[in-house]
Amino acid sequence: MKKFLSTSLIILLIFGGISATFAADKINSTDAAINTATNASIKAGATSAAIATAASEATPPAVETTEPAIETTETAVTIVPDMTFTGTPIKLSLEDAYKKMLADSPGARIAELNKQSADGVARGYGESVRLINKAEEMGGDYSTTDRNILKINQEYANKQGPRNYETEINKLKRDTLEIYYTLKEIENQVEIAKNNLALKEKLLKNTQLKYKLGTVAKVDVLEAEISLAKAKDQLIAAQNGLNTMKMAFNQFMGFDLMQNVILTDTIKEIPLSNKSLTESIKDALANRNEIHEAAYNLKVSTLNLQNYTAYPRYSSKYIKAKMSLLMAETNNANAPLTVENNVRTKYMTMHEKYSAVQTNKKAVENAKEMERLAQLQYDAGMATLSDVESAQLLLYNAQLDYSRSLLEYNLAVKDYEIASTTGITPARI
């Protein structure tokens, strides 16, 4: 059989998933260590080779300037001399991103080519059957089993081609959703870091005023200054992570690397899928590629063994055909269980992530109130500077957790919905 063209492009993208975690050395200490730039990967449904997005027709402006000269490569790609995203802003909704990927992305083109390839394979099997029939009319002798296998191959290729195409489009849309909302989530992290910096600036001003009034010691001012400096570092790290993700997004979408793209959609709490678990399992057992592929392999293996029934039972060819049939029977029996397991797992994950969103939403509300009360108590001389900073740290981390949980929940809902379709893994043809 002809091996199906692989459409699994792996584009390694460094997410600036700016998760800031802190560890206090003492109860009254605000020293914290920040873990930044979490690595992640996005897989795009395209070819197995990485996709370069260099523009071939752009030419550098011939205008004299006091700014650093803009260099160009041999392919005339304009090099932006800093980390400023340039060009006429492109406003892009998630739906627009879907349309662009389906219209002109390598992944979409490869999916269409694979569909055409499956059609060609089916026609090839059909032609083989016709040649056998014609040869028999002229006195040739051919195996009925071989003819039946060819017919099964033809039928399978005809049906599986469109299913594989749907699968590749599912994967492409899922990857687009993930990279789009991941970028939005990192934008949220930058805003959280800015808000945290504003709180630190306000706290330093209050501490300096209290020091002038003689109500706090000089050490509190020094501590507040260190806390402000660390908040600035957090913002720089968050912004760097955002820039990294913007470049990755532009490369994925096929834009120039430093193109200024504005994402118009926001990450919000979408409803839970209204598709019941029972309905999803039923549809998955009817639609998933794993089911169809296992059933096809069983048919072929069963017929193939018939070609060796006249062979001794201890011959290598007979034993190999027998083993192939046994494996096909096992896979066919396990396929429904594996698919059902997958759907149930996606269902549980969706509800788990939904619960996390509710918990983190409440945590942010409580953390905001705790920070407000701590600030009031500090102003009244009833709390220490460390108490306020601990409350601010709690709020900062709660906001990051909530932002991340929204992203994970949205992806979990999408994964559950895809689980009852053909899936995201094409079958071999």
The pLDDT value recorded for residue 80 is: 81
Domains (ranges, CATH) in the chain? 9-419 (1.20.1600.10)
Sign of the C-alpha dihedral computed for residues 352, 189, 193 and 372 taken in this order: negative
pLDDT higher than threshold 70 for residue 40 = no
Closest to 44 measured CA to CA, from 167, 168, 160, 163:
168
How many beta carbons lie within 10 A of that of residue 347, not counting itself? Answer: 22
Report the distance separating Cα 193 and Cα 213, nearest Å: 30
pLDDT band at 138 (very low <50, low <70, confident <90, very high): confident
Measure Cα distances from 359 to 314, 370, 404 in Å.
63, 16, 12
The pLDDT value recorded for residue 7 is: 38
Report the distance separating Cα 238 and Cα 189, nearest Å: 7
| Tokens describing residue 88 | 């006429």
The pLDDT value recorded for residue 145 is: 84
The pLDDT value recorded for residue 28 is: 36
Helix (H) or strand (E) holding 11: strand 9-11
The pLDDT value recorded for residue 132 is: 80
The pLDDT value recorded for residue 307 is: 86
Percent of the chain with pLDDT over 90: 69
The pLDDT value recorded for residue 43 is: 36
Mean pLDDT of 144-153: 87
Report the distance separating Cα 280 and Cα 333, nearest Å: 19
Measure Cα distances from 241 to 13, 178, 266, 277, 402 in Å.
11, 16, 18, 38, 18
The pLDDT value recorded for residue 249 is: 96
* Upper half-sphere CA count for residue 129 (Cβ side, 13 Å): 17
Report the distance separating Cα 215 and Cα 380, nearest Å: 10
Q: Is there a contact between 407 and 170 (Cβ–Cβ < 8 Å)?
A: no
What pTM was estimated for this model as a whole?
Answer: 0.77
The pLDDT value recorded for residue 142 is: 65
Report the distance separating Cα 406 and Cα 266, nearest Å: 10
Q: In this predicted model, what pLDDT tens digit does every residue of 230-288 receive, in sequence order?
A: 999 999 999 999 999 999 999 999 999 999 999 999 999 999 999 999 999 999 999 99
Per-residue burial over 300-339, b if 16 or more Cβ lie within 10 Å, else e, is: bbbbbbeebeeeeeeeeebeebeebbeebeebbeebbeeb
pLDDT band at 76 (very low <50, low <70, confident <90, very high): low
* Upper half-sphere CA count for residue 59 (Cβ side, 13 Å): 3
Q: In this predicted model, what pLDDT tens digit does every residue of 174-188 receive, in sequence order?
A: 999 999 999 999 999
